[in-house]
A and B are shown apart, each in its own frame.
Chain A
Amino acid sequence: MSETGCDKAERLAAQLAEALDQLEAVKPFAKLNYQGHICDLTLRLLKEPQGVQWLYGQAARFDRAGVFYGGDWAHPASLQPALVSASVRGPALSVAIECLSELRLLAIATGQAASDKITPEGARTFLEDAIARNLDLLFPSSSEAARAERTPLLEGVHRLFRFIAERLGAQGILESTVSEAIRILQQRPILVHRVREMIDAAAQTLAGGGSDAIYEQARQLTNAVHGPSALSRSAASLERYREALAELDARALAEEAQAFARSMHETGLVSPQHAVLLEHVCAKGSGDGIARVLGLDSVGRDSLDVYGELVRRLIASLAHPLLAQSIYGLACMLNRGVLFFPPLAPGLWRLTRLQIEAEVAAALQRLVDESPTLSANAVLLAGTVSVLGQPLGVGQGDNPTCQSARAISLWSQCDPGFLLELITWAARDNEVDMHFEGQLLRSSELQSGGVAELHTELDPASLVLVPHLDRIYWEMGRRIAGRGEDGHKWINPEFHGWWVQRGFATVIQYSSGDVIDFEGFMRLFYISYHPAYNGARQLIYAQPAGIAATDKNGQFIGWHAVSIQRVTVDQDGEVRAYFYNPNNDSGQDWGQGIVTSTAGHGEFPGESSLPFKQFAARLYVFHYNSRELGDPAAVPAAILGEIAALARASWARGVGWHELVSTS
C-alpha cells in the first residue's frame, strides 16, 4: 500500500516536531548535533505539495528550539534580502536554513511568534524586500534557463514564496516591487531585463487591486514596457500596430510619438512598439518626426540635423523589437552632443560595415536568441550606441570585472573615440592591444584574467570588450608584481588614459596590509577633491578610485573599483562626492548609516552620491594632480579624526593602524 502525499507530509511533520523537541531539549553546545536532521526533514517536506504548511505550523518555535543557533541566521536583523536568491539556489543545506528562516520571519511578521531579535515590521520588510528581489520565485518564468534549474526542491521554494506572499498580502509586495523597480530605473541602466521581469511580475499582482498611487505607478511602468499609448496597447500584434500607424494623420502621429518619447524619458524603458514607430517615422522621411519619437532636446535636434544620414543608418539597425531598448541610448547619445566629437561619426560608420570575427558574431547573436532577422553588426551597434548614450549605465553583470566596466564607462565619458577603436578591434580581430611601460600586450596572447568564465548577461559592447580588458588588466598586474607598492599607481593611467592623474595615494601599506598615515592620506584627499580645501577647483576628468566595500553591518567585503565623477554642493548645501559604481545597482547600504544615494541629491542618472566625509570613510586609493592642491594645514583635524573613527570601526577593524608621528 503506497502512502499518499498528505500522509507522507504529515508523517514528516511529526518527525520534525520530534526533532524540534530534541533540539530544544539539548544544551546550546550540542545543538549542532541535531540541526542537520532538521534540515534534512525540511528539504523532504519542501518537496511535498503540502509541506510548506506543515513547516509553517512549527515555525513559531524554530528560533526557540535553536534551529539557527551558531550560524548567521541566528541574527535575523542582520540578514540581507539580497542574499536570499543565492541561498535558495545554493547547496541543499543553505536552501533548508534559508527557507526555515523565511518561515520564522513570516511567523514573526504576522504576529504568530514573538521575537526579541527583530520586530514584526522588520520581519515584514525583509520578506517583502526578499520577494521583490526574487519575483521569479514567486512567478516562475518560462525561460530556458529557468526551466533548466527547475527541480523538485526549487518547486518547493516556489511554493514557499507563494505561501509567504499570500500571507503578507499583495499590497506590500506590489509596493516594494514597484519602488524597487523605480529605484533601479532612476539609475538608467543599459540592461533592463531584470527590471522588466519585476514589472511583469508586479503586473500580475495588479489584478488583486491596490492603493491608487501605487497602482498608477505600476501601470505606468507596465505601459512603458508593453505599450505607452492606447493605440499600441490595443493593437493585437506589432504587425497590427504597424498597420494602425499607417492610418494615422500627422497630428495623431505626433501625439503618438510624444506619448512614446515621454514614457521613455520618464522611465528609461522602451517598448517593442517604439521600434515599429521609429521605423515608420524614419521611412516617412521627416527629421522632425524622428526628433519627436526620440524625444530629443535642442542639442539632440542639432545632432540629428548635422548627422542625419548616420542617424538614419543607425535607426535602420536599431529599430527592431529585440533591440528597442537601445533607442533610449540613441536618444541620449544625440542629446549628449557626443557625435560632434570628430572620431565618432566615422567610427560609427565603420562599425556598420565591419566584418565581425565569427566567434564574436556568434556570441553577439546569442544575446538576441539567434534571431534570423538580426545581424551581429546590428546588435553591436545597439550596444555601442547604448554605451555612448548612457556612460553611467554600464554594469559589470555577475562578473568580478568592476575594473573593466569602469574603464568602459570612463572611456565613454572621456575618450569615446578610443572606445570605438577598442570595440572595433575586439569585434573584428577578437583581440585588443594595449601598451604597458613601452611593451605591447596583446590580449590573445595572455592568460585568462580574474574571470574564468564570463557571465554573458551583459550589454553587447561589454560582452565584446570585457574578456580582453580583463586579461590585459591582470597582465599589467603581473608585470608590476614585486614592486612592493599598489600597482594601480602605474596601471590606472596606462590602462585608462593619460587623463588619469599620475599623483597616487593609498592608505594601505602593500607589504603588510596595514593602514599607514591615515591622516596624511585623508588630508591629501581633501586638498585634492574637496572644493572648500582645494582652491575650489573642479574635477575635469572623472578619476578612478578604490573603496573598501562594506556590508550593512560595516563589515569589510572586498576592494572595489569606482570612479569619482565630481564633487559639488547639493541642494541642501552639503558637499557630496558623486561617483560611478560599476555594480549593477548602486543603491547600497555600507553600514554606519552610510547609504549611497542614487536620486534626490542632484545625482545624474547612474551616479551614486554620499556626503564627502562618508565617501572618504571608505576610500583607500585615489589619483590626484600634484600641481593642483590646496593647503594641507587648512583641513581641520577634527574632521579627519571623525573619518578615521568611521574607518577604524568598519573596514579597518582588526587591521594594523600606524599614524606618522608628528614632529612639530
Chain B
Amino acid sequence: MAEIAPNTSYVAVLGWSLRAIEAIDRFNRKYVVVAPSWAEEYAKDNAIPYIPWEFERLNDRSIELYERLAEEGVEVAVPLFEETVEWAGAINARLQNKPRLFPQSLLFRDKSLMKRRAQLAGIRVGVFEEAHDRDDVRRFLMRVNKALLKLDGDPNDPIHMKPFDKAGTYGHRVIKTNEDIDAISDDEFPCLLESHLDGKEFACEVFIHEGKIRFLNISEYVHLGYSVFIPASPALEEWRPQIRKAVEHLIQAFEIEHGLIHPEFFITHDGNLHFGEVAYRVPGGNAFELIERAYGFNAYQAQVLVSDPKATEAEIQAFFPREVVDAKGFAGCFLVYPKQRVISDIDMPDAVENDPYYEKHDLFMPANPKVAERVAFGNHYGTVYFFGDDSDRMRELLLKQEEYDFYR
C-alpha cells in the first residue's frame, strides 16, 4: 500500500478485480477489498487487505457486512460490479448516515425503475414497459409498431428486451418478429421492454464529487459490442455542451453526490439526446484502460477519489486533466470473438501487428479451446488495443478488425 494521505476516508472496495486492486493499492487511500471467499487464499498470499463476503441478494444478514466494515473503520464503500451496487448503497447509507443512498442505489439496479425516475424528471426516454411473459412482449411489439403507423406486412421496428439488473449488454435481445419472441426462455422474465431509439449511441464516464461533474469522458462506440474509442471524435465532441447539460440533469434527477456513473445516450439526427440507461460502477468494454491510455490518469483511483466525500477541491483539481485537450491521442479497442467453433492458438494477423496504431492485446489462449456460443453482445475472448492521433483512421481501423480472425 502506498503512503496514506491525511484526512482521507478508509475505503472498502466491493468485488474482486486485480486491475482495480492493483491501482487502488498504489493510491493514497487506506483500503480493504470485500470479495467472495474464493479470493481469500490469493489475498492472503499477496498481503491484500481483505474481508470475505458472498454477494448474493440483500437479506437479513446484510447488516453483518455493515457491522464488520464499521468495526474496521471503513467510511466509504465503492462498488466495482453491477451486483455490488446495492450493497454499496446499503452500506454507505449507514456509514455516511444518508438513508436515501440505499433506495438511490436500487434505481441503478432496476432498469424499469431507472427509466421511470428519468421520465419523472423530464428526461427524454423511449417508450418502455415491464414484461412478465411472452404475451407482454408480443403486445408491446404490436402496440409500438401500431403507433409507428406500420401496416400489415411492413417489417416491424425492433424493440429491445433487457434484464432489469444485468450489466451492460448482458442478456440484451433485439426483437423484431414472433420467432424472436418464441426464442425467449421463461427464466428471462420479468424484464424491461423498450422501443428502439434510432441515432448514434454513445456512453459517458462521469466522475462526480459533491454533485458536480469533475471529469466527463465521452466514449464513442464504433460498433456496439465490438469497438469503442476515447476521447470521442471531434464530430461527437461538438455536442459536449448538450451532453454535459444532459448529464447534469441526470445527476440532479438521481440525486447523485459522489462517485462514478456510466450513462448511455442516443443522439438523434435532429440533435436530440435520448437517455438509454445509467450504471453506478466500473464500465465494461475496457473504458478505464482507454481513459488511462488517452489521459494518463488511473480511472480506478479516480473512482475512489470522487467517492470519498473527504477529498478536497485541491486534490481533485490536481488529479484530473482537462477534458479532450489534454488527451495524448485516441485510444481504441476491439473486442475479439472467435469466428471458429474450436480454436487451438492465437494467430495475430500481420496487418494488425504491423499497424502503427496497434499497441497490445490480451488474447492468449483461453483454457477451453471450444468456443462458447455468443450471448447477446457479451463474453468476448479478449481485447486488442490501438492508439493514434486521428479519430477517422481509428474508426476505420476498428471497423477493419471485424474482418479478421484472431485465432486458428
Return B378 CB to nearest CB of chain A, in Å. Answer: 21
Residues in chain B near residue A28, CB distance under 8 A: 46
The answer to whether A32 and B345 touch (CB under 8 A), given A27-B25, A40-B361, A93-B365, is no
Contact B18 A29 (CB under 8 A): yes
Whether A92 is near chain B, meaning CB under 8 Å from some CB there, is yes
On whether the beta carbons of A33 and B22 are closer than 8 Å, the reply is yes
Between-chain CB contacts (< 8 Å), 23 pairs: A3-B356, A26-B22, A27-B25, A29-B18, A29-B21, A29-B46, A30-B19, A30-B21, A30-B22, A36-B361, A37-B362, A39-B364, A40-B361, A91-B344, A91-B346, A91-B364, A91-B365, A92-B345, A92-B346, A92-B364, A92-B365, A93-B364, A93-B365
Q: How far is the CA of A32 from the CA of B46 in the complex (A)?
A: 13
With contact pairs A44-B353, A91-B345, A92-B346 given, residues A27 and B360 touching in the complex (Cβ less than 8 Å) = no
User: CB-CB < 8 A to B348: which residues of A?
Assistant: 40, 43
Q: Are B364 and A32 interface neighbours, CB within 8 A? A: no
B residues near A37, Cβ cutoff 8 Å: 360, 362
Q: A interface, by DSSP: helix, strand, loop or mixed?
A: helix
Q: Is B48 an interface residue (CB 8 A)?
A: yes
Given contacts A27-B46, A30-B21, 14 further A-B contacts (CB under 8 A): A26-B26, A29-B21, A30-B18, A30-B19, A30-B22, A33-B18, A36-B362, A37-B362, A39-B364, A40-B360, A41-B360, A91-B364, A92-B365, A93-B365
Q: Mark B44-60, 1 if CB is under 8 A from A, else 0.
A: 01101000000000000
Contact yes or no, B21 A36, CB < 8 A: no
- B209-244 contact mask (Cβ, 8 Å, vs A): 1 or 0: 000000000000000000000000000000000000
Chain B residues with CB under 8 A of A30: 18-19, 21-22, 25
- In the complex, which of the residues B18, B45, B48, B356 has the most CB atoms of chain A within 10 Å of its own CB atom? B18
Contacting residues, chain B, for A92 (C-beta < 8 A):
345-346, 364-365
Smallest Cβ-Cβ distance to B46: which chain A residue: A29
- CB B38 to nearest CB in A, in angstroms, measures 15
In this assembly, does B42 line the interface, its C-beta being within 8 Å of a C-beta of chain A?
Answer: yes
Kindly list the 3 A-B residue pairs having the minimum CB-CB distance in the complex, ordered from nearest.
A29-B46, A30-B22, A93-B364
Which residues of B in the span 350-408 have a Cβ within 8 Å of any Cβ on A? Answer: 353, 356, 360-362, 364-365
**Digit string of A267-308 for contact with B (CB within 8 Å is 1, else 0)?**
000000000000000000000000000000000000000000
> A44 vs B353: C-alpha distance in the bound complex, in angstroms?
8
Interface residues of A in 68-103 (CB under 8 A from B): 91-93
Contacts A92-B346, A93-B365 given; does A29 touch B22 at CB 8 Å? yes
> Which residues of the partner chain A approach B42 to less than 8 Å between Cβ atoms?
29
Residues in B whose Cβ lies below 8 Å from that of A32 = 18
Identify the closest chain A residue to B345 (Cβ).
Answer: A91
Interface string of A3-33 (1 = CB under 8 A from B): 1000000000000000000000011111011
> In the complex, A458→B361 CA distance in Å?
42
Question: Which among A30, A32, A36, A41 has the highest number of chain B CB atoms within 10 Å?
Answer: A30
Docked CA distance A33–B292 (Å):
15
Q: Is the CB of A33 within 8 A of B19?
A: yes
How many angstroms between the C-alpha atoms of A32 and B348 in the bound complex?
Answer: 21
Shortest Cβ distance from residue A19 to the other chain B in the assembled complex, whole angstroms: 8
Q: Render B1-39 as a binary contact track against A, CB cut-off 8 A, 1 for contact.
A: 000000000000000001101100110000000000000
For the complex formed, measure the closest distance between the CB of B80 and the CB atoms of chain A, giving whole angstroms: 15
Residues of A near B345 (CB, < 8 A) are 91-92
Give A173-195 as 1s and 0s: 1 = Cβ < 8 Å from B's Cβ atoms: 00000000000000000000000
Chain B min CB distance to A452 (Å): 15
Q: How many residues of B contact A (CB 8 A)?
A: 21
Inter-chain CA distance A41–B365, complex, in Å, is: 16
CA distance A125 to B362 in the complex (A): 34
- A26 to B2 Cα, complex, angstroms: 12
Q: Which of A29, A33, A40, A44 contacts B48 (CB 8 A)?
A: A29
In the complex, which residues of chain B have a beta carbon less than 8 angstroms from the beta carbon of A91? 344-346, 364-365
Cα distance, A170 to B353, chains bound together (Å): 35
Cβ–Cβ < 8 Å partners of A93 in chain B: 346, 364-365
Mask, A26-68, CB within 8 Å of B = 1, is: 1111101100110111011000000000000000000000000
**What is the distance, in angstroms, from A334's C-beta to the closest C-beta of chain B?**
49
Beta-carbon nearest neighbor of A29 in chain B: B46
Give Cα A43 to B46, complex, Å.
Answer: 30
Task: Report the separation of the CA atoms of residues A33 and B17 in the bound assembly, to the nearest whole angstrom.
Answer: 11
Q: Which residue of A lies closest to B364 (CB)?
A: A93
Q: A27 — which chain B residues lie within 8 A by C-beta?
A: 22, 25, 46
Question: Please, which residues of chain A bring their CB within 8 A of the CB of B22?
Answer: 26-27, 29-30, 33
Chain B residue with the shortest CB-CB distance to A91: B345
Residue of A nearest to B43 (CB): A29
Min CB gap B99→A, angstroms: 37
Measured CA separation A11–B45 after assembly (Å) = 37
A110 to B46, CA, bound (A): 33
Bound complex: CA A93 to CA B361 (Å): 12
Could you tell me the distance in whole angstroms from the C-beta of A506 to the nearest C-beta in chain B? 34
**Once the chains are docked, how many angstroms separate the CA of A563 from the CA of B68?**
63
Which residues of chain B from 307 to 349 have a CB within 8 Å of any chain A CB? 344-346, 348
Give Cα A92–Cα B348 distance, bound, in whole angstroms: 10
Give the docked Cα–Cα distance between A91 and B360 (Å): 18
Q: In the docked arrangement, what's the CA distance between A44 and B19, Å?
A: 25
Closest to A43 in B: B348
A43→B347 CA distance, assembly (Å): 11
Q: Is the CB of A36 within 8 A of B18?
A: no
In the complex the two chains form, what is the Cα distance from A415 to B19 in whole Å? 65
A200 to B355, CA, bound (A): 42
Residue in chain B with minimal CB distance to A152? B350
Distance (whole angstroms) from the CB of B382 to the closest CB of chain A: 9
Specify which chain B residues have a CB less than 8 angstroms from the CB of A26 in the assembled complex: 22, 26
A313 to B21, CA, bound (A): 78
Whole-angstrom CA separation of A37 from B19 in the bound complex: 14
Least distance between A146 CB and chain B CB atoms (Å):
19
The answer for the CA separation of A39 and B26 in the assembled complex, in Å, is 24
Name the residue of chain B whose CB is nearest to the CB of A44.
B353
Closest to B385 in A: A37
Q: How far is the CA of A455 from the CA of B147 in the complex (A)?
A: 68
Bound-state Cα–Cα, A630 to B222, Å:
82
In the docked arrangement, what's the CA distance between A41 and B359, Å? Answer: 9
A28 to B48, CA, bound (A): 11
Partner of B364, one of A3, A29, A36, A41: A36
List, in ascending order, chain A residues with CB within 8 A of B362's CB.
36-37
Of listed A29, A32, A37, residue having the most chain B CB within 10 A = A29
**What CA separation (Å) do A40 and B46 show in the bound complex?**
26
> Whole-angstrom distance from the CB of A584 to the nearest CB of chain B?
26
The CA of A37 and the CA of B364, in the complex, are separated in Å by 10
Residues of B within 8 A of A39 (CB): 364
How near does chain B come to A142, taking the closest CB pair, in angstroms?
25
Least CB distance, B386 to chain A, in whole angstroms: 13
Q: Which chain A residue has the least Cβ–Cβ distance from B384?
A: A40
Q: For residue B345, give the distance in angstroms from its CB to the closest CB of chain A.
A: 5
Report Cα–Cα, A30/B361, bound state, in Å: 17
Bound Cα distance A43, B348 (Å) = 10
Report the Cα distance A30→B353, complex, angstroms.
Answer: 25
Complex CA–CA separation, A92 to B353 (angstroms): 14
Q: Which residues of A contact B46 (CB under 8 A)?
A: 27-29
Give the interface centre of A26, A27, A91, A93 by most chain B CB atoms within 10 Å.
A27
Closest partner residue, chain B, to A30 (CB atom): B22
What separation, in Å, do the CA atoms of A331 and B361 have in the docked complex?
60
Residues of B within 8 Å of A29, CB to CB, are 18, 21-22, 42, 45-46, 48
Cα distance, A3 to B360, chains bound together (Å): 19
**A379-B268 Cα distance, complex, nearest whole Å:** 78
How many whole Å from B291's CB to the nearest CB in chain A? 16
**Smallest beta-carbon distance A45→chain B, Å:** 11
Chain A nearest CB from B223 CB (Å) reads 24
Residue of B nearest to A2 (CB): B354
Bitwise, B100-123 to A at CB < 8 A (1) or not (0) is 000000000000000000000000
Nearest to A3 among chain B residues (CB) is: B356
Q: Bound complex: CA of A29 vs CA of B25, how far in Å?
A: 11
Most A CB contacts (10 A, CB to CB) among B46, B48, B360 go to: B360
